[in-house]
Amino acid sequence: MSTSNPALQPLCTSSIIGTGSYLPEKVLTNDDLSKIVDTSDEWITTRTGIKERHIAADDQATSDLAAEAARRAMTAAGVTPEDIDLIVVATVTPDMFFPSTACFVQRKIGATNAVCFDISAACSGFLYALQVARHFLNAGSRTTALVIGAEKLSSLVNWEDRNTCVLFGDGAGAVVIRAVDADTDAPGRVLSTVMGSDGTLSDLLKVPGGGSALPITPENAASRPNTIHMEGRETFKHAVTRMCQASEQALEMAGLTKADIAMVIPHQANARIITAIADRLGLPEEKTFVNVDKYGNTSAATIPVALDEAHRQGRIKRGDIVLLVAFGGGFTWASSVLRW
């Protein structure tokens, strides 16, 4: 891929200075699910690699999960709520259509100086939000940003559909990013980001009802149009192809190769997808971070949660090249390269 297009050049002036994550207390195991729908631990594990997922309490909204992840990221970064001047929340399960979930997070953490808005790019949302926040920081209009991926997907799950209800969980992850000089060797530096979309494939993964195109009415409510609908086989195929392409493009933009990767943190949707991506990139198991078994697919939250865990577990170290890559409904996809 040529990098002659200035719009695709890495800006390299933002660094991640803190990470945080939060998973709700309630754990729903595969055995628990087998009491709800016709499934089993063996069936789910074999096809997805998922063993359990976390489910938010009835009185927990997406903003509650996001705010707790944000607090932990700010503590790790050593910043105060007043230091935050931008909050971007990636989510497809907002508290409500408006105000934005980011505004609720602002209120809950006391970030009175922040500009706040949401991004909807499904499972790619966190990497989209990271790139948008980088542009604000690189332009000099903001200095310190909270980028959050947060989902309460249990609110969109059809618990009678065994093909989808076994896949999803709730959670939130956050990073604090700060503007740095372009020639600095600051840790956590974002070297490059690639993003893409293909709206012609939007019907393969969607929540068709609840918006202006298909409002929920007494007549259609029984068919559950406001829940997740997915064509699994086709989604799998496109996910692997696009995530591998985006990974290779992001590495090239950063002037790196696959051999430079110390850790890849892929979207945690399905263990088979993760294995296929690692195989195509030629990466051994120890260079691939996996936590889908514990949390399932938490959409926009998967990558920031996994990044926080990898950091806290010592799986990534100062100077490591870390590849982040995601794919989601839209279809959307994105990949970022970090020098940790």
Residues 196 and 167 in one domain: no
Give the pLDDT score at 183: 67
> In the structure encoding, which two tokens stand for residue 320, read together?
């490591």
Would you say 14 and 339 are in contact if contact means Cβ atoms under 8 Å apart?
A: no
Angle between helices 232-253 and 271-281 (to 10 degrees): 40
Active-site positions read 123, 267, 297
Q: What is the dihedral of CA 305, 131, 107, 98, to 10 degrees?
A: -100
Q: For 76-112, what is each residue's pLDDT tens digit?
A: 999 999 999 999 999 999 999 999 999 999 999 999 9
Residues 23 and 49 in one domain: yes
Distance CA 81, CA 163 (A): 41
Q: For 98-149, what is each residue's pLDDT tens digit?
A: 999 999 999 999 999 999 999 999 999 999 999 999 999 988 889 999 999 9
- 149 contact partners, CB below 8 Å, separation of at least 6: 89, 90, 91, 125, 126, 129, 172, 173, 174, 298, 299, 300, 301, 302, 303, 304, 305
Residues 242 and 173 in one domain: no
Residues 169 and 213 in one domain: no
Residues 122 and 265 in one domain: no
Residues 76 and 213 in one domain: no
Q: For 264-314, what is each residue's pLDDT tens digit?
A: 999 999 999 999 999 999 999 999 999 999 999 999 999 999 999 999 999
Would you say 136 and 147 are in contact if contact means Cβ atoms under 8 Å apart?
A: no
Question: What's the mean pLDDT when you consider all of the chain?
Answer: 94
> In the structure encoding, which two tokens stand for residue 224, read together?
């559950």
Asked if the structure places residue 23 within a domain, the reply is yes
Asked if the structure places residue 171 within a domain, the reply is yes
Asked if the structure places residue 1 within a domain, the reply is no
> In the structure encoding, which two tokens stand for residue 95, read together?
């508290």
Count of residues making up the chain: 340
> Which of the listed residues 154, 179, 204 is the one where a domain comes to its end?
179
Range of the domain at 313: 189-339
* Number of domains composing the chain: 2
Q: How confident is the model at residue 11 (pLDDT cuts 50, 70, 90)?
A: very low
Show the DSSP H helices in the chain as ranges: 30-33, 41-48, 62-77, 101-109, 125-139, 162-165, 232-253, 271-281, 292-295, 302-312
Would you say 209 and 216 are in contact if contact means Cβ atoms under 8 Å apart?
A: yes
Q: Which of 112, 70, 137, 119 is nearest to 304 (CA)?
A: 70
Per residue in 67-103, is it b (16+ CB within 10 Å) or e — as a string? bbbbbbbbebbebebebbbbbbbbbbbbbeeebbbbb
> Which of the listed residues 125, 154, 179 is the one where a domain comes to its end?
179
Residues 173 and 283 in one domain: no
> Which of the listed residues 158, 179, 200 is the one where a domain comes to its end?
179
- CATH code where residue 73 lies: 3.40.47.10
